[in-house]
Amino acid sequence: MDLTRRSILSSGAGVLTAGAFAGCLSSPSDWGGTDERRGYAAFFALWDWAEEVGGDTFEFENPIGVGEMGHGWEPDGNLAADIATTDVFVYLDTAEFAWAQQVVADLERDYDDVTIIDGMAGLSEHFLTVDREPPASPDTDYDFDPETLEVGGFDAIDRRTGEVVAYWHGDHWHGNLPAVVLDESVPIDAVITDDEERVLPLGADEQFQLDARLVDGAPESVEIDSHGEYVELHGVDDRTTLLVFELRADGEVIWDTSADSMSVSVVTEREDEAADEFVDPHVWVDPVLAQQIVATIADGLAEIDPDNADDYESNAAAYTERLEDVDRQFEELIDEASRTVGVFAGHDSYQYIEHRYGFELYTPVGISPDDAESFEDVASLIDVIEEYDIDTVLYDPFETNDPDHEVPNMVDVLIENTDATDYAPLTPAEGTTLEWNENGWGWVEQMEEINLPSLRKALGAE
């Protein structure tokens, strides 16, 4: 199945309809008299699954081009307006796909009749958390200059639990703010560092104060109170809105997070606390969790188009059998493996399958592909290769920045400095290459043709 794409551009929970907003585009019923159903899915894996479930009845588009990943991707133009001419948008409600969260907020604010399907709905009990320790105490002895200050880091902390729920990296967010229950409040603390990793003192009587504001035009679903060292979000309307944090000095905003606004949802009932933790978003690499996401998509399409609900259920059931077969192949691989440790020269995107099947991939950085490895990180991987006598280094083909070089530079470094002699690709199925697209490879094929053979080689199961 070939990709059909437009190179343009997404929070909610489960399946919800963006209604009661001032939509201004034509409705699906105006598409030249056709009854064809159309929708968008936020990145490759979701697009592939939506196409499988939709079959001949529902056509989906993936806005992300061949060779690109959804993480950190930004749309050109107003994709929300384009999606608003279709029936549905399938996405994951996580700040790792902040652009998709923003599109959802735009749809909820401005358009009618677009159903939103969150593939992460109902998965909170399976979420794996990512540990992040907040930085040290404020450096009150250092004389900060607000005019030249460069912010190096920002951790958003749920003041109720002390947990880091989101952090700022470069120019975008990772993680999510907790949902705010209607008529209740959530206090958000912050630890902000400068470019030398010094912690700024925050407070009403300190040099700097934390504040926040809603994005212009965003739903006024929360009221914001600043207490200097933290802000309090009070839920007044059960809608999702967009928030910008501000750093102030002497009453003036000297820095903010407007480069990537954070979504915050107001809900009518308290959600599972696990959903408020900072979680690893890579649920789509797990063939068992994938089955639940496929079922969520099928339920959402049936709600939109009940006349064809049986077809969506049947398509989902047939595809689920293929996902179950991938699950069996992973089980067989681990049963035949001579080791349960590997080295992956990429970001930590396989925690869910490591956890499910009982093996471990050592990586130089965390869950973000934007993180840069240090000398100590690479040295640690060299030690692992030597300790476990690893001969094959795994790498992410989407993290190879040089088009003339097959693998990331770190692979060369590891092979040059260890007894490892080979390398093999491992894909998070977040995107597709030109070759894979021409082969018609979907999520299952990426697992069967790339990941399973590479892991067999790396873990000694050949």
Q: Do 303 and 364 fall within a single domain?
A: no
- Any domain includes 450: yes
Q: Do 47 and 109 fall within a single domain?
A: yes
Q: What is the structure's pLDDT at 3? A: 41
Q: Do 304 and 245 fall within a single domain?
A: no
- Any domain includes 271: yes
- Any domain includes 7: no
Q: Do 269 and 170 fall within a single domain?
A: yes
Domain boundary among 267, 292, 317: 317
Confidence of residue 175 (pLDDT cuts 50, 70, 90): confident
Query: Per residue in 37-73, pLDDT tens?
Result: 999 999 999 999 999 999 999 999 999 988 887 666 7
- Any domain includes 146: no
Q: How far is CA 424 from the centre of its chain?
A: 25
Q: What is the structure's pLDDT at 134? A: 53
The three state secondary structure string of the chain is: CCCCCCCCCCCCCCEEEECCCCCCCCCHHHCCCCCCEEEEECCHHHHHHHHHHHCCCEEEECCCCCCCCCCCCCCCCCHHHHHCCCCEEEECCCHHHHHHHHHHHHHHHHCCCEEEEECCCCCHHHCCECCCCCCCCCCCCCCCCCCCCCEEEEEEEECCCCEEEEEEECCEEEECCCCEEECCEEEEEEEEEECCCCECCECCCCCEEEEEEECCCCCCCEEEEECECEEEEEECCCCEEEEEEEEEECCEEEEECCCCCEEEEEECCCCCHHHHCCECCCHHHCHHHHHHHHHHHHHHHHHHCHHHHHHHHHHHHHHHHHHHHHHHHHHHHHHHCCCCEEEEECCCCCHHHHHHHCCEEECCCCCCCCCCCCHHHHHHHHHHHHHCCCCEEEECHHHCCCCCCCCCHHHHHHHHCCCCCEEEECCCCCCCCHHHHHCCCCHHHHHHHHHHHHHHHHCCCC
Query: Per residue in 184-210, pLDDT tens?
Result: 889 999 999 999 989 999 998 899 999
Query: Per residue in 101-138, pLDDT tens?
Result: 889 988 988 887 899 999 999 898 888 877 655 556 78
Q: What is the structure's pLDDT at 208? A: 96
DSSP state of 183: T
- Any domain includes 99: yes
Q: What is the structure's pLDDT at 11? A: 32
| Whole-angstrom distance, CA of residue 277 vs CA of residue 205 | 30
Query: Per residue in 1-24, pLDDT tens?
Result: 444 322 222 333 344 444 332 333
- Any domain includes 145: no
Q: What is the structure's pLDDT at 340? A: 92
- Any domain includes 133: no
Q: Do 116 and 164 fall within a single domain?
A: no
Q: What is the structure's pLDDT at 369? A: 52
Q: Do 187 and 104 fall within a single domain?
A: no
C-alpha dist (Å) from residue 304 to 14, 93, 439, 450? 14, 20, 32, 35
Which CATH number characterizes residue 229's domain?
2.60.40.1080
Q: Do 238 and 169 fall within a single domain?
A: yes
- Any domain includes 51: yes
Q: How far is CA 253 from the centre of its chain?
A: 29
Residue with tokens 């470094």: 413
Q: Do 93 and 166 fall within a single domain?
A: no
Q: Do 44 and 120 fall within a single domain?
A: yes
| Mean pLDDT to the nearest integer, 376-405 | 85
Q: Do 218 and 240 fall within a single domain?
A: yes
- The whole-chain average pLDDT of the chain stands at 85
Query: Per residue in 222-232, pLDDT tens?
Result: 999 998 999 99
Query: Per residue in 78-88, pLDDT tens?
Result: 899 999 999 99
| Mean pLDDT to the nearest integer, 342-369 | 83
Number of domains in the chain: 3
Q: How far is CA 435 from the centre of its chain?
A: 25
Q: Which domain holds residue 104?
A: 15-125+284-317
Q: What is the structure's pLDDT at 352? A: 93
Q: Do 311 and 417 fall within a single domain?
A: no
Q: Do 313 and 362 fall within a single domain?
A: no
- 341 within 8 A of 388, measured Cβ to Cβ: yes
pLDDT at 398 over 90: no
Query: Per residue in 326-343, pLDDT tens?
Result: 999 999 999 999 999 999
pLDDT at 442 over 70: yes
Which CATH number characterizes residue 83's domain?
3.40.50.1980
pLDDT at 77 over 80: no
Q: What is the structure's pLDDT at 10? A: 30
